[in-house]
Amino acid sequence: MFLATPAKGLRDAYGFVQVTVPGDVPLRLVYHSYEADNGGADFGQEWDVVASKKFGKNWTVLTKYAYYDGKDALGSLGAPAVPFDKHLFWAQVEFNF
């Protein structure tokens, strides 16, 4: 979400859980809480889901979904800091040699 660090800094407190689902696919759920380093501004929160599967010796398929919730984020003056939500989905295929 953050292409540049905000002027007051950025603190990303996060945690995750991971399980292996049928087909030997690791599935990870990650939660992020974003705040300013200085001043206590709330920059929103994010949920991510990541699944990957290795095929053969060289191939890996990865899918990711991210939901950023910035509707309730408040800047240091109480005004909305990032007043929007964003959904992203992407997939990648990787070949390693």
What is the biggest distance separating any 2 CA atoms in the chain, rounded to whole angstroms? 54
| Residue type at 83 in one-letter notation | P
Please check whether residue 4 lies inside any domain of the structure: no
Q: Tens-of-pLDDT digits for all 97 residues of the chain?
A: 778 888 888 899 999 999 999 999 999 999 999 988 888 788 889 999 999 999 999 999 999 999 999 877 765 445 555 567 899 999 999 999 9
> Cα 42–45–51 angle (5° rounding)?
160
Please check whether residue 51 lies inside any domain of the structure: yes
Residue 24 is predicted with a pLDDT of: 92
pTM, to two decimals: 0.80
Edge-to-edge strand ranges of the sheet holding 11-21: 11-21, 25-35, 42-55, 59-69, 85-95
Residue 57 is predicted with a pLDDT of: 92
* Structural domain harbouring 71: 11-95
Please check whether residue 49 lies inside any domain of the structure: yes
